[in-house]
A = this chain, B = another copy of it.
Amino acid sequence: MKIQEALSFVERLFVAAGCSSNHAKIVADVLVAAETRGIPSHGLMRIIDYLGMLEAGKINVNPNVKIIHETVSTAVVDGDSCFGMIAGTMAMELAIEKAKKAGTGWVAVRNSNHYGIAGYYAMMALKFDMTGISMTHANPLIAPTFSVSRMLGTNPIAVAMPTKNQPPFIADFATTPVARGKLAIKEQRGEKIVSGLVQDSEGNQSCDPSIITRGGAILPLGSDYEHGSHKGYCMTAIVDLFSSIFSGASFGPFVPPQVPYLKPKENAPGKGMGHFFGAISCDAFQPVDEFKGNMDLWIETFRASIPTKNFEKVLIPGDPERLFEEKTKREGITIIPEIEKNIKEIAVKYRVDY
The chain A residues found within 8 Å of chain B, CB to CB, are 69, 71-74, 76, 101-104, 106, 108, 143-149, 151, 159, 161, 169, 171, 173-178, 194, 196-197, 202-203, 221-223, 226-228, 230-235, 237-238, 241, 244-248, 251-253, 269-270, 280-281, 284-286, 290-291, 294-295, 297-298, 301-302, 305-309, 311, 313-315, 317
Contacts and interface: CB of A to CB of B under 8 A. Distances in A.
A221 B301 CA distance: 21
Contacts of A171: 234, 237-238
Contacts of A173: 228, 230-231, 234
A74 B148 contact: no
Given A102-B102, A103-B106, 20 more contacts: A72-B101, A73-B103, A74-B280, A76-B286, A144-B314, A145-B314, A151-B302, A159-B234, A177-B227, A196-B226, A221-B227, A223-B227, A241-B295, A244-B298, A245-B286, A245-B294, A246-B286, A251-B297, A252-B302, A269-B297
- Give the residue among A146, A197, A223, A301 with the most B Cβ atoms within 10 A: A146
A222 B175 CA distance: 10
Contacts of A246: 280, 285-286, 291
Contacts of A269: 294, 297
Contact of A305 (B144, B230, B311): B144
Number of copies: 2
A227 B194 contact: yes
A342 to B, nearest CB: 29
Contacts of A253: 301, 305
Top 3 A-B residue pairs of the complex, sorted by shortest distance between their CB atoms: A203-B308, A71-B103, A177-B228
A315 B145 contact: yes
A176 B234 CA distance: 12
A307 B76 contact: no
A233 B171 CA distance: 10
A118 to B, nearest CB: 12
Nearest to A297: B269
A91 B269 CA distance: 36
Nearest to A291: B245
Contacts of A102: 71-73, 102
B202 A308 contact: yes
A228 B223 CA distance: 10
Contacts of A235: 235
A353 to B, nearest CB: 40
A103 B148 CA distance: 38
B227 A298 contact: no
A315 B146 contact: yes
A39 B153 CA distance: 30
Nearest to A150: B305
Contacts of A227: 177, 194, 196-197, 221, 223
B307 A241 contact: no
